[in-house]
Structure 1
Amino acid sequence: MRARSSAAVVASLALILGASHGALAAPPVEQPAFSWTGFTVGLDVGYAWAQASGQDCNWGRNKCPAYSTGADGIVGGAYAAFNWQVDHIVLGIEGDIEGSAVTGTSAFSSPFTNYLYGHAVDESWQASLRARLGYAFDRTLVYVTGGVAYADVFNNLWRLGKSFHAYSETRPGWTVGAGVEQALSDHFTARLEYRYTGFDSSENSVGTNSTILQDLNQQAIRMGIGYKF
């Protein structure tokens, strides 16, 4: 009887240990892949540097000394995007609007006069509407982007310490760039992006005495935090 009882106990322990070993060896439950499809809103901040170059033409464009003004400063604002994911490919459209503290000044001389001239450029806001094309490595998205851009640009020229041509205008242009975005959770994302923006050439005149010709381009690096619905 004792031998039979001992055998039964051993058999029971073997079944229990076998069941426990099977439970420990069970494969983990696979988590579903992250989807970038949906609407996202966010905030961004960055640093931009720009170059404004052109000519200050006087006396009916017969005399046009050249100037080149570097500018830089902080940019920051909000963005909204809609993305659609097919397999690993992510297509999207995005718009943003930002306040800008990009400013700069320069001094230049004219070969036609003995005066020392000065030029200042100041951006107050900028915006863009862009397409995005990306490749998703699950929760990491690498993308390129491009579209149209706008900026409010103020220019001021002076000589002998006195302003003689100041004006503000909204400049259209184009922008291209690339970035990487990471899903921190099912709803929050973080991104790092670089963009180059070229604004259309500008011409602004005051009577027949002063015509400002200008090209303006800008580079910027931005960081952003978004919420995906």
Structure 2
Amino acid sequence: MRACTSAASFACLLAVFLGAPLGAPLGALAAPPTEQPAFSWTGVTVGLDVGYAWAQASGHDCNWARTICPAYSTGADGIVGGAYAAFNWQVDHIVLGIEGDIEGSAVAGTSTFSTPSASYLFGHAVDQSWQASLRARLGYAFDRTLVYVTGGVAYADVFNDVWRLGKSFHSYSETRPGWTVGAGVEQALSDHFTARLEYRYTGFDSSENSVGTNSTLLQDLNQQAVRMGIGYKF
């Protein structure tokens, strides 16, 4: 191989350093970097999530004639967590999807209230044991980062207990339907693993249930929740 002279060009010195032939074209000294394919969100993702929820149960405890209806408002909070599954379809930067989840819930709370005709306190307790949803998702993908909104139907098992003088007066459990909306961000950690952070508001349908033999409990229930999740994309 011919040695570089003092008048040799920088390309000559670089060629010697890299071990390339001196006669090789300058463009052959360094190959252009290979462009990595863009990440696609299309596919099925399953995962686990955990979060914290705040709920508010409010309404009236009415007598049989509904002439006396003292109001109550019970705050509840607790951990929620479970599993989810989603199918996403990406077109350019737009990601469309459908997702379902089911969670165990430790959201619970109690409150006290009084009636005009009684000198003692009544009490109310609310407890959610599980909840689920089926939702659509609409997102915008910045390669491996997905920002999305979501909304659909929701269900929860809700337990109510009305008590007075420290003893349970009447209790019942029911599955409450409702609706849920929210937004979140999901990040692809690799080609298969994703992580997400999501906020959702859920409003359940109003309910009306007989309490004992002479009163009716009217109730509205809503919930806010923040969740984190880890998923595997197939």
Q: Same fold (TM over 0.5)?
A: yes
> 1:65-214 residue pairs with structure 2 within 5 A?
65-206=70-211, 208-214=213-219
Aligned counterpart for 1:223 among listed residues 215, 222, 228: 228
* Partner Cα distance (1:18, 1:103) in 2: 79
* Partner Cα distance (1:115, 1:20) in 2: 97
Kindly indicate whether the alpha-carbon contact (under 8 Å) linking 2:61 and 2:72 is maintained by their aligned counterparts in 1. Answer: yes
* Partner Cα distance (1:223, 1:24) in 2: 48
SS of equivalent to 1:131? strand
* Partner Cα distance (2:101, 2:160) in 1: 24
Unaligned runs of 5+ in 1: 1-5
**In the alignment, what sits opposite 2:18?**
none
**In the alignment, what sits opposite 2:8?**
none
Residues 26/163 of structure 1: CA separation in 2 closer, same or farther (3 Å cut): same
- Once the two structures are TM-superposed, the CA of residue 111 in structure 1 deviates from its matched residue by 1.7
* Partner Cα distance (2:50, 2:131) in 1: 13
**In the alignment, what sits opposite 2:44?**
39
User: Pairwise CA RMSD of aligned residues?
Assistant: 2.1
Kindly indicate whether the alpha-carbon contact (under 8 Å) linking 1:58 and 1:208 is maintained by their aligned counterparts in 2. Answer: no
Over residues 136-186 of structure 1, what are the superposed CA-to-partner deviations in whole Å (9 max), with x where a residue is unaligned?
A: 000000000000000000000101111112000000000000000000000
Kindly indicate whether the alpha-carbon contact (under 8 Å) linking 1:157 and 1:163 is maintained by their aligned counterparts in 2. Answer: yes
Q: Which amino acid is the alignment partner of residue 190 of structure 1? A: A
Identity within the alignment, %: 86
- Once the two structures are TM-superposed, the CA of residue 25 in structure 1 deviates from its matched residue by 3.7
Q: Which amino acid is the alignment partner of residue 166 of structure 1? A: S
Residues 20/164 of structure 1: CA separation in 2 closer, same or farther (3 Å cut): farther
Kindly indicate whether the alpha-carbon contact (under 8 Å) linking 2:49 and 2:229 is maintained by their aligned counterparts in 1. Answer: yes
Q: Which amino acid is the alignment partner of residue 80 of structure 2? A: V
Unaligned runs of 5+ in 2: 6-10, 16-20
- Once the two structures are TM-superposed, the CA of residue 36 in structure 1 deviates from its matched residue by 0.2
Q: Which amino acid is the alignment partner of residue 69 of structure 2? A: C
SS of equivalent to 1:95? strand
* Partner Cα distance (1:24, 1:192) in 2: 46
Kindly indicate whether the alpha-carbon contact (under 8 Å) linking 1:165 and 1:210 is maintained by their aligned counterparts in 2. Answer: no
Q: Which amino acid is the alignment partner of residue 112 of structure 2? A: A
SS of equivalent to 1:30? coil
Q: How many residues align?
A: 223
- Once the two structures are TM-superposed, the CA of residue 109 in structure 1 deviates from its matched residue by 1.2
Residues 30/68 of structure 1: CA separation in 2 closer, same or farther (3 Å cut): same
Residues 72/207 of structure 1: CA separation in 2 closer, same or farther (3 Å cut): closer
Larger helix proportion, structure 1 or 2? 1
- Once the two structures are TM-superposed, the CA of residue 110 in structure 1 deviates from its matched residue by 1.2
* Displacement over 3 Å in runs of 4+: 8-11, 17-25
